Amino acid sequence: MDQWVQNPTAHTALDDILPCVDNATAQETLSQSKNVTHQLVNVVNGVINNVFNRNFPPALAPLYFNQSGPLVPVLCNPFHSNLTNRDCAFGEVTLHNATEVWKKYICEVSGSGVCSTPGRLTPQFYTQMSAAVNVSYGLYRYGPFLVNLQDCTFVRDAFTDISHDYCPDLRHYSQWIYIGLVIVSAAVMLSLIFWVIYARERRHRVYTKQYDGRSEGQYKGR
C-alpha cells in the first residue's frame, strides 16, 4: 500500500480496482466543471437582468408577464472569466441560498400565465432557475472532490492516513499475536511429547505387570 501511495501511476494490482487518471487529465476535468458553472451562472444572470428585472409593455409577450415589484437579485458567480476564484459582490445571492431568496419574488399567475400579484418570477420560471442553480452548485461544491476521486488523491490520502495512524499499532499487535501463536504451538508440541512419553511409560508398566504375573504363576506351578 505504501508503494502505491508513493507512486500511484505504477502498474499494481490496485489498477483493476482504482483506475486512476493522470494529474493533467484530472485538472482538465476540474477546469471544465468550473467553466460550466461559470457559464450557467452567466446565463441565469442574463435572464434575470434582461427579462425578469425589466418592465416590458404587454405587446412584447412572452417577455411580458406583468412582472413588477422589487428587482430579483442576481446570482453570485464563484469564478472570474479566467476561472479563478471570485468573491461575491454586494447584493448578489450565493449558489447556496439563491433558491430560498428567490422565493420572495414569486408571483401568483392567472389563467393566461401572467402575474396577478406583485412579483417577477412565475412558479415555472422559478423552477427552471432553481434547476440551473442546483446543477451549478453541485459542480461547484462536489467537482473538486470528484476530481480527487478521479486522480485517486482522495484514496491516496486515505491510505496515507491508514498507514500512518493504524499500521504501526497493527504491526505491534500482530507481533504479539504471532508470539502468542508461537507459544501456543510450542505448548501443544510439548503436550504431545509428554503424552507420547506417558503413553509409552504406561504401556511399559502394563507389560511389566503382565510379565511379572506370568513369571510368578510359573514359579508356583513348580
Which pLDDT score is estimated for 171?
A: 65
C-alpha cell at 50: 434582461
Count of structural domains, the chain: 2
Coil, strand, or helix at residue 108?
A: coil
Say if CB 21 and CB 148 are below 8 A apart: no
Pick 9 or 93 by higher pLDDT: 93
Q: Which of 72, 87, 79 is nearest to 39 (CA)?
A: 79
pLDDT surpasses 90 at 9: no
Q: Are 199 and 158 within one domain? A: no
Task: Measure the CA–CA gap between 83 and 180, rounded to whole angstroms.
Answer: 60
Boundaries of domain holding 81: 2-165
For the segment 96-122, the average pLDDT, to the nearest whole number, is 93
pLDDT surpasses 70 at 222: no
Give a yes or no: residue 221 inside a domain.
Answer: no
pLDDT surpasses 70 at 109: yes
Give a yes or no: residue 119 inside a domain.
Answer: yes
Q: Are 74 and 29 within one domain? A: yes
Q: Which of 147, 161, 159, 156 is nearest to 8 (CA)?
A: 156
Say if CB 88 and CB 94 are below 8 A apart: yes
Of 129, 146, 165, which residue sits at a domain end? 165
For the segment 8-23, the average pLDDT, to the nearest whole number, is 57
Q: Are 120 and 150 within one domain? A: yes
Give a yes or no: residue 222 inside a domain.
Answer: no
For the segment 77-85, the average pLDDT, to the nearest whole number, is 93
Say if CB 72 and CB 120 are below 8 A apart: yes
C-alpha cell at 105: 419574488
Which pLDDT score is estimated for 160?
A: 67
pTM assigned to the model: 0.62
pLDDT surpasses 80 at 17: no
Give a yes or no: residue 35 inside a domain.
Answer: yes
For the segment 5-21, the average pLDDT, to the nearest whole number, is 56
Kindly give, in sequence order, each residue whose CB lies less than 8 Å from that of residue 75, ignoring residues fewer than 6 positions away. 41, 44, 45, 48, 92, 93, 94, 95, 98, 133, 136
pLDDT tens string 52-73: 999 999 888 888 999 999 999 9
Say if CB 14 and CB 135 are below 8 A apart: no
Pick 141 or 178 by higher pLDDT: 141
Mean pLDDT across the chain, nearest whole number?
Answer: 79
For the segment 40-63, the average pLDDT, to the nearest whole number, is 92
pLDDT band at 29 (very low <50, low <70, confident <90, very high): confident
Q: Are 111 and 191 within one domain? A: no
Q: Are 75 and 185 within one domain? A: no
Say if CB 152 and CB 8 are below 8 A apart: yes
pLDDT tens string 191-212: 877 777 777 777 766 666 665 5
Q: Are 193 and 112 within one domain? A: no
Residue with cell 432557475: 129
Of 126, 144, 165, which residue sits at a domain end? 165
Which pLDDT score is estimated for 198?
A: 73
